[in-house]
Amino acid sequence: MFRTTSEVRMDFRTLGATGIRVTPLCLGAMMFGAVGNPDHGECVRIIHRALDAGINFIDTADAYSRGESEEIVGKAIKGRRDALVIATKFYTKMSDTDPNMRGASRRWIVREVENSLRRLGTDYIDLYQLHRYDIDTDIEEVLFTLTELVRAGKIRYFGSSTLPADRIVESHWVAERRGTLRFRSEQPPYSIFNRDVERFVLPACRRYGMGVLSYSPLDGGFLAGKYRGPADFAGPNNRIERFAKFSRGSFDPDADYIRRKIALVGELTRLADEAGIGLAELAVAFVLQHPAITAAIIGPRTMQHLESVIRAGDIALSAETLDRIDALCPPGTMFDPVNDLPSGTMKSALRR
């Protein structure tokens, strides 16, 4: 029914209105380095496997293992860089002592882009992304700075990540009014279990011709079948627990929303079995069939993780399968009680 992994063929898609053609699977590099896989040689092999399978799109960030991920990507793309679309990000703090080595100030952006270029071993970045909305920096300042980087040849295009719909609209209004270039892409979380962006973010991106490279299509491992019960949350590399503690201050593996997800994983696994594909493939293929999505970011830590999803870019789910997914997880809904909120939202001064 489907090709083997050695015969994967992925049709190219256009990244918004940029004219850049990218594969529907984007290789995410967050797990390359100390946070995930510290073995540089193995990480390079994973990247090469993805490139050999036809993927031409790689996404990383300065914050991923404090630059180590960018360095690994730089090693892997030597001799192949011209055929690839390389995306990275800025915003997250890169120093525990210097308060200005973070954010979206002009001072930091013009410094950090040089650092990313050096780590990646390239003289330009195809897509430079604001990792989070910076409530302390005027969006006009950000757009002017990024526009100048395009004109200087440091970057080709720039985009955003996890911007709410109102900030996306605001950024385009400011760009039109002030004569700057505009965000050409958005990177939101999107999965069967997190469909909140279907309500406002994805329509806004379509309205303004933005490409969308969505992250976490496997919902942190839930939709890979990694978690089947509370005991499965113990041990290293547990991103679910780390993120939950960061965003909510605590983590309860017996929480109702966790139990609900685990129950739904069983239903979705049966659905995937009937379709003749793996659960992870079902989850990624679902994301890719939304008309606003350009690419789904897959972030493997091991070669096995990559092999489990690499066919997904070549799978089309039937209307019946999509309807059954909608019945289990209705459009526009989100199971987690708190999503990844924009920078500054949790500041007490803004709530009182």
User: CA–CA separation, 110 vs 113, rounded Å?
Assistant: 6
Long-range Cβ contact pairs of 341-347 (< 8 A, separation 24 or more): 341/247, 342/132, 342/133, 342/135, 342/162, 342/163, 342/164, 342/167, 343/91, 343/132, 343/133, 343/134, 343/135, 344/133, 344/134, 344/135, 344/136, 345/135, 347/135
pTM (two decimals): 0.91
Strands 155-161 and 21-22: unpaired
Determine the pLDDT at residue 257.
87
DSSP-assigned letters across all residues of 16-48? TTS--EE-SEEEE-TTBSTTSB--HHHHHHHHH
The residue ranges of every structural domain in the chain are 12-335
Output the CA angle 251-257-263, nearest 5 degrees: 120
Average pLDDT over residues 60-88: 97
Which residues on neighbouring strands pair with residue 13, listed in sequence order? 22
According to CATH, the superfamily of the domain at 12-335 is NADP-dependent oxidoreductase domain (3.20.20.100)
Average pLDDT over residues 241-270: 77
Per-residue pLDDT at 255 exceeds 80: yes
Kindly list the distances between the CA atom of residue 153 and the CA atoms of 87, 114, 175, in Å, as whole numbers in the listed order. 15, 12, 19
Concerning whether 215 is annotated as a catalytic residue, the answer is no
Per-residue pLDDT at 74 exceeds 70: yes
Average pLDDT over residues 318-345: 83
Q: How confident is the model over 111-134, as pLDDT tens digits?
A: 999 999 999 999 999 999 999 999
Q: How confident is the model over 154-186, as pLDDT tens digits?
A: 999 999 999 999 999 999 999 999 999 999 999
Could you give phi then psi for residue 90, rounded to 5 degrees? -140, 160
User: CA–CA separation, 183 vs 143, rounded Å?
Assistant: 8
- Tokens 């760009």 identify what position? 175
Per-residue pLDDT at 214 exceeds 90: yes
Q: How confident is the model over 132-145, as pLDDT tens digits?
A: 999 999 999 999 99
**300 Cβ contact list (under 8 Å, min separation 6):** 27, 28, 31, 46, 306, 309
Determine the pLDDT at residue 227.
83
More confident residue, 85 or 253: 85
Strand stretches in 117-193, DSSP E? 125-130, 155-161, 185-187
CA-based max dimension of the chain: 57
Residue 212 · residue 185 · CB < 8 Å: yes
